[in-house]
Amino acid sequence: MANETRSSLGGDATAERSLRGKVSHLRELLRPFIRVLRANPLTLVGFILVVIISVTAVLVALVPVITQLVLGHPILLTPYDPNGISTDYSQGPSLKHLLGTDKLGLDIFSRVLTALPLDLAIGVGIAGFALLAGGGLGLVAGYWDKPRTIGGAISAVILRVTDVFLAFPSLVLALAIAASLGRGTVPSMLAVLLTWWPYYVRLTRGEVLAVKHRPYVVAARAAGVSEVRILFRHVLRNLIEPLLVYYTLDIGTVIITFSTISFVGIGVPLEVSEWGTMVEAYEQLLLTHPWTVLAPGAAIFITVLAFSLFGDGLRDILDPRSRRTLVQAVAPTTLPGQVAVSAEA
Amino acid sequence: MGRNRSDLIVFVGKRLLQLIPVVLGVIVITFFFTHVATQNPCAVWAGAHATADQVQACIVRFGLDRPLTDQFWRYLTTLLSGDWGANPRGGVPVLLSISSAFPATLELVLASLFIMTVLGIPLGVIAANGAGRWADHLVRVFYLSGWATPTYLGAVVLAIAVGPAIGLPTKGDFASTPPFARLTHMSVLDALLALDFPAAGDALLHLILPASALALLNLGIATRMTRTSMLEVLPLDFVKTARMKGLSDFVVLYKHALRNALISTVTILGITAGVLLSGTVVIETIFQWPGIGAYAYDAIKGYNFPGTIAVVIVFAIAVVISNLLSDVLYGILDPRVEWR
């Protein structure tokens, strides 16, 4: 039996070899990831959680739409309609209602699950917009900062406007914007969107300033490489890693800020399932029906924690300095004002 | 530029001058969002039972029928003359509310900075000392958990479940209205100034839960920062020398290494002031703390435009000043930094 297997494999030797070659190439690429995941199991936990959360969110959002198109009627992945009032009032967690029900008989598990695509999309989308908008502005402000040129003037304007927005505690500005636009999902999204980009300007600009006088950039310029090509091929490449780490950590922060606006009652309306809104709606029930508050709370906690663990580990993977193998007396080159506060958290 | 006292003065002066355009920008943005995006605030200001005539009178009275630039100019000139305006509903002067609320918030923020320092720094040292081992992982889970818990969730659990369970007060700053004058509007300080020690103890008890809820949010920053800078310091020669001299682990870690590692931690604490201020909006609302965060919430929700703008100005100034303080502190602690 064993011999047969071996010989049948042997007949396919060439294909096997090329497959093996591909696998080892892939392994080479993934080596830093595998090493860090092994050294730090928490990163692995974060990574697995991020994958599970993202896949669930996509399924919960897309399956009803697709089944609507294909079958003509939507199939919900949630056990109950998140807004379907039933006679099972204020029940504790059971097999029928995994996370219990509220006073109207709404199934908490279904509501928490329905909120997942919304909250996750907001975190990924708003942080993504901030990354692109703020990153782009920071790139311009950092790269063309020579005084008394058009670029220098534009950079100066960008930096002054950024300073103004940075001086706002972003939650307060977001609250003020959300309150004046009126209660709703879109206004509170706009509010976070408008306040979220400035930090990326500072971060990107700092990185550009650090990179653009490195010898290899100077050498590229001396060799006659065009400015645009230097910007994209040599400078931008070095920005991807710090920005990616910050972005991953930032997704959680956006989710928390967005749900805070809902929690204080000027964000998402009550009939839309959203984690912050749910905590607000049920907070007085914490002692009598704790599951109603703790379930959406735990959903935020796990989601944010997953992205934090993952981002934290990503930093170790991407930034060789944080491996601290060659630590010597390093004189601080930046003032603390330029240190990434949230990125350190 | 160097490290003379005159260089420091120039540095601080320059940064304070930069405050002027920042505050102006903040005023413009907030004014724009409150006045343009809000539809007919007079419907709220005149009260729920106001007649159409009363609403119209309100619109004329607050000049809402005029061009926006006119309105802005009027607001700016009165503000520069020292008049911060009044709440359109009820007419309480904004400056009066702010000046009593700001010290209360300062007290809360300082208390939470204290908790962050006392808890966060030792945790960071423990994590760095056992880097890569279980103590490090445990500390990492702890601070990331604090980071992942929304401020409001932590505060709700503390206010509704934990507070009553362990018998700590969860509302306001005193159990009953204190008989002494509120000189500073900082509850503990006021009670001490009046030599009313039971009241001071009461105020301290009232401070514990809101300050802890606020500290929870940023504990991770202090821990993470201490861990990172300790990891930079620990392999250095002077630490090795201290260990070789046979000093105890405690002395090496906390006296020799931490002293150098603290430079960046202390300054990071200054920068977190902005995050803490944002946090006060939620914390003070839940714990009914009579501070500027609760005032901000009321002003934003009640379309109190002069109040909203004033709060934002105060927050912006506070953020810029605390950033400046942390830069100055960094320069004083680290002799390699030059003022520029």
Collect all residues of chain A within an 8 Å Cβ-Cβ radius of residue B101.
none
Task: Read off the pLDDT of residues B251-302 as tens digits, 9 standing for 90 and up.
Answer: 888 888 888 888 777 777 777 777 788 889 999 999 999 999 999 999 988 8
Collapse the DSSP code of B65 into the 3-class scheme (helix H, G, I; strand E, B; otherwise coil) and give the result.
coil
Matching residue, tokens 């996509």: A58
Q: What's the whole-number average pLDDT of chain A?
A: 79
Question: DSSP string covering A101-113, please?
Answer: B-TT--BHHHHHH
Q: Which residue in A169, A287, A339 is closest to B160 by CB distance?
A: A287
Taking an 8 Å cut-off on Cβ atoms, the answer to whether B236 and A329 are in contact is yes
The tens digit of pLDDT for each residue in A93-146 reads: 877 777 878 777 788 888 899 899 999 999 999 999 999 999 999 998 888 877
Chosen from A35, A112, A166, A180 to mutate, greatest number of chain B CBs within 10 A: A180
DSSP B93-114: BHHHHHHHHHHHHHHHHHHHHH
Query: Chain A partners of B37 at a C-beta cutoff of 8 Å?
Result: 177, 180-181
How far CA A144 is from CA of A158, A221, B201, in Å, comes to 12, 15, 58
Q: ipTM of this model?
A: 0.84
Per-residue pLDDT tens over the stretch A176-230: 888 888 788 888 888 888 888 988 998 898 888 888 888 888 898 889 888 888 8
Residues of A in contact with B160 (CB under 8 A): 283-284, 286-287
Question: What residues of chain B, 137 to 196, have a C-beta less than 8 Å from chain A?
Answer: 137, 140-141, 143-145, 147-153, 156-157, 160-161
Nearest to A245 by CA among A336, A307, A301, A193: A307
Is residue B282 within 8 Å of A264, Cβ to Cβ? yes
Chain A residues within an 8 Å CB radius of B144? 305, 308-309, 312
Q: Convert the pLDDT of each residue in A291-344 to its tens digit.
A: 888 999 999 999 999 998 888 777 777 765 544 332 332 333 333 333 333 333
How many C-beta atoms surround the C-beta of residue B128 within 10 A?
A: 25
Distance CA(B127)–CA(B29), nearest Å, equals 43
Query: For chain B, how long is the longest CA-to-CA vector?
Result: 86
What does the pLDDT read at residue B227?
86
Q: Which B positions 109-138 lie with beta carbon below 8 A of chain A?
A: 132, 137
Helix pair angle (B197-233, B273-287), 10° resolution: 150
Assign 3-class secondary structure to A259-301.
Answer: HHHHHCCCCCCCCCCCHHHHHHHHHHHCCCCHHHHHHHHHHHH
Q: In angstroms, rounded to a whole number, what is the distance separating the alpha carbons of residues A91 and A109? A: 12
Q: How far is CA B284 from the centre of its chain?
A: 11
- The pLDDT tens digits of the residues spanning A24-51 come to 777 777 776 677 667 677 788 888 999 9
With an 8 Å Cβ cutoff, are A260 and B137 in contact? Answer: no
- CB of A186 less than 8 A from some CB of B: no
Cα separation, A115 vs A270, whole angstroms: 12
| pLDDT of A12 | 56
The answer to whether the predicted template modeling score (pTM) of the entire model surpasses 0.80 is: yes
Nearest CA-CA partner of B95 in B78, B107, B83: B83
